[in-house]
């Protein structure tokens, strides 16, 4: 019989802080404090029964602190990954099936995101009565509306078109 003190199965102790999932997505190396914004981007508010575990400010070898988000039973779409890259440019996306990581990829910032953010400029053509699909060019530290040139940096999570 094994007792609970014997946790050394090849994983470091940091991995053990957040429960393992059987299938779904693990978003690792999210910058500290951004986990809740990640949930907002993914439209996860607990209402649809998705099992989510969040580790905030856990020690990281890449940053001083990082957040981890694990979503049971859901694999992210490319659109979701693209928006995620705007607030978590260093994140790693791990796809888990049967408790095994089957795919692991870094997010890549796209040059342009379309239809995922809404422009904060109420006079912009993309927010008018007959709005065109939003289109933002991705900058190093934010995004710029392709129509009116408004630059958005810190408030990206609040503009996510859900």
User: Where do the domains of the chain lie?
Assistant: 13-106, 112-159
pLDDT of residue 154: 81
CATH fold, domain 13-106, is Alpha-Beta Plaits (3.30.70)
Asked whether residue 119 is marked as a ligand-binding residue, the answer is yes
55 is in an annotated binding site: no
- Which top CATH class is 112-159? mainly beta
Condensed to tens digits (0 to 9), the pLDDT of residues 41-61 reads 888 877 777 789 999 998 887
pLDDT of residue 12: 45
Percent of the residues in the chain that have a pLDDT greater than 90, as a whole number? 38
Beta-carbon contacts of 142 under 8 Å, excluding residues fewer than 6 positions away, are 151, 152, 153, 154, 156
Asked if 149 and 159 touch (Cβ cutoff 8 Å), the reply is no
pLDDT in tens, 111-149: 999 988 899 999 999 988 877 889 999 998 889 999 999
pLDDT at 13 over 50: no
pTM, whole model, 2 decimals?
0.76
The answer to whether 145 is annotated as binding is yes
| pLDDT at residue 1 in the model | 52
**CA distances to 18, 45, 151, 155 from 51, in Å:** 13, 10, 35, 27
Q: Binding residue per annotation — 124?
A: yes
Q: What is the pLDDT of residue 46?
A: 72
**pLDDT of res. 123:** 93
Per-residue pLDDT at 162: 58
Give pLDDT, residue 10.
44
């Amino acid at each position: 019989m094994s007792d609970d003190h014997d946790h050394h199965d090849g994983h470091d102790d940091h991995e053990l802080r957040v429960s393992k999932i059987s299938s779904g997505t693990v978003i690792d190396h999210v910058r500290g404090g951004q986990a809740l914004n990640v949930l907002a981007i993914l439209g996860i508010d607990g209402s649809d029964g998705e099992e989510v575990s969040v580790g905030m400010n856990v020690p990281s070898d890449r940053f001083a602190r990082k957040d981890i988000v694990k979503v049971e039973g859901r694999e992210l779409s490319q659109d979701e990954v693209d928006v995620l890259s705007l607030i978590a440019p260093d994140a790693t996306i791990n796809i888990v099936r049967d408790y095994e990581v089957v795919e692991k990829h870094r997010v890549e910032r796209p040059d342009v995101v379309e239809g995922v953010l809404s422009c904060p400029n109420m006079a912009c053509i993309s927010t008018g009565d007959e709005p065109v699909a939003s289109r933002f060019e991705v900058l190093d530290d934010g995004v710029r509306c392709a129509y009116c040139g408004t630059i958005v940096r810190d408030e990206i999570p609040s503009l996510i078109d859900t």
